[in-house]
Amino acid sequence: MCENSDVNKSITLPFCGFVVCYQHIENLAKKFQCPVCNDHKIAKEECLSMRINLEKIDFIKQERLKEIGKNPETFINNIFTEFINDVDIRREKLLIKFEQKINDYSQQLINELQKHKKNLTAELKHKMEDFEENKDSIKALIECVENMKFFEGQDLNTFKIADYFGRFNFAKLVNKDCCLVDIESYKLKSKLRVKNNAIILNTDQFETGEILAYGSNNIYIINEELNQILKEVKLYANVECARVFNNNEFLCGLKSGHVKIFNKNSSEIVSEIELPNNEQPYALALWSNKVVVRTGATIRVWDPSVNKWIIDLNTIGYGQKMLIVNSNYVIINDISRIALMDLSNKRCLKSIVDKEIVDIDKINDDEFISVHGLGFYKIWCTSRLECKIKCDIQLWKIQNVIALPNNRFLIYSKEDGITLWIRNESVYSSQIKVNQIISSMMLLRTGQLAITYYSAEVQLWSG
């Protein structure tokens, strides 16, 4: 045990049970040697997610916020000074890199010119030895030399320096206290249509603000205000599912039976793995730093750090949604059943039969909501997988649900558009009518509502 450790700031280590100051492990690698026993490895994420440590970490974070609050200017200055230094370093590296590339390429052109000059000179001298016989070819050779030109490369105005240099995206946060109180006041603020009328199936959002959209065999990264597409990635297989992995990477599940991690800025593949038995991925979720993949009646867990499948669980039929709850639990559903799976113990805890389940969403670690084609929603206790509330809302052709802060829900039906519901109420409080069938809706970090359509359009609505 650390002799200087504050009881309120001490972290219990798995396996051995010793405690150390949080600061001793805060900046360690994802896996590290136990600093006390020094005879076993510890997974950092697993250690910090232990129930005994969660309250301590929350206390530590609150104490840190108080310290920052005493001198916020110093805190902000330190972070932005580091960013500015990073920009300077990046500039110097690129200047050196491109200067070398320019020098190498220009020297290559000069070498080719010198070689071509030597060959032409020798050929012309040789032909001049018998001018009368070779005068036609001599004339053609001279004309060829006289007509040589230097062709300039691409217009520098179209050169996308941001793709090489990088960029910042200053994301805003949702004001959860007043989030979507009345959606009838929401108006269409901006819209964007993707190229080639490609279908957009769903969206996700990076913490840095960019919107990740996907459909068909395309991935789009869009700026938060939807003024432009920052990146378009064309893949060579249909995208079945995609989501944000971290601030710099995103995940794709492909119909070809592969799951891949891409770098957000370069679009290069960081890591990839193939599913066994020619399975196809239908849904993706994150479990700590691991990837949970739903493939029909199987759940598989991929650990990118070792590039291996580490868990496979048999489960209920097909579905497009998974909810990670309570650190190690995952909720899944198909049209007639809901199941609660325990990933850490690799087993199904409970499975129940229900009717016409259309969509589910997480309310908090203890509750989730389901919407049903028969015109009602249910609120469930997660740990017991028991229905706490059933509310008849008389909506037909329901397609999506989003759980919002302050006990509110957004429900989309093809007949009634997007409706806002308050918990336990059987009549919606406000409504947005849409004239197209939407493929997905998402509450952005700004509190705005992103709506995607099968017609290749992304819309942003706000009050």
CATH number of the CATH domain containing 371: 2.130.10.10
Query: Are 277 and 297 members of one domain?
Result: yes
Place of tokens 């994301």: 171
- Asked if residue 158 is part of any domain, the answer here is no
Query: Are 46 and 85 members of one domain?
Result: no
Query: Are 448 and 323 members of one domain?
Result: yes
**Predicted local confidence at residue 378, as pLDDT:** 95
Phi/psi for 341 (5° steps) reads: -110, 140
- Number of domains observed in the structure of the chain: 3
Query: Are 293 and 411 members of one domain?
Result: yes
- Asked if residue 177 is part of any domain, the answer here is no
Query: Are 294 and 236 members of one domain?
Result: yes
**Predicted local confidence at residue 436, as pLDDT:** 87
Q: CA-to-CA distance for 325 and 347, rounded, in angstroms?
A: 15
Long-range contacts of 436-439 (CB under 8 A, 24+ apart): 438/399, 438/400, 438/412, 439/199, 439/200, 439/201, 439/202, 439/215
Query: Are 369 and 431 members of one domain?
Result: yes
Query: Are 106 and 247 members of one domain?
Result: no
**Predicted local confidence at residue 170, as pLDDT:** 66
Place of tokens 């009345």: 182
Closest to 421 measured CA to CA, from 432, 413, 429: 429
Cα Rg of the chain, angstroms: 29
- Asked if residue 28 is part of any domain, the answer here is yes
Domain boundary among 16, 40, 70: 70
Domain boundary among 28, 51, 70: 70
Helices 51-70 and 72-128 pack at an angle, to 10 degrees, of 90
Strands 269-274 and 283-287: unpaired
Query: Are 378 and 262 members of one domain?
Result: yes
- Two tokens, residue 418: 């997007």
- Asked if residue 406 is part of any domain, the answer here is yes
Q: Which residues of the chain have pLDDT under 50?
A: 1
365 contacts 351 by C-beta, under 8 angstroms: no
Query: Are 42 and 95 members of one domain?
Result: no
Q: Which domain holds residue 432?
A: 183-462
**Predicted local confidence at residue 212, as pLDDT:** 94
Helix (H) or strand (E) holding 380: strand 376-381
- Asked if residue 173 is part of any domain, the answer here is no
Query: Are 140 and 12 members of one domain?
Result: no
- Asked if residue 167 is part of any domain, the answer here is no
Domain boundary among 101, 130, 147: 147
Query: Are 335 and 368 members of one domain?
Result: yes
- Asked if residue 156 is part of any domain, the answer here is no
The three-point CA angle 182-188-191 to 5° equals: 145
What does pTM read for this prediction? 0.70
Query: Are 215 and 322 members of one domain?
Result: yes
- Asked if residue 174 is part of any domain, the answer here is no
Helices 72-128 and 131-146 pack at an angle, to 10 degrees, of 170
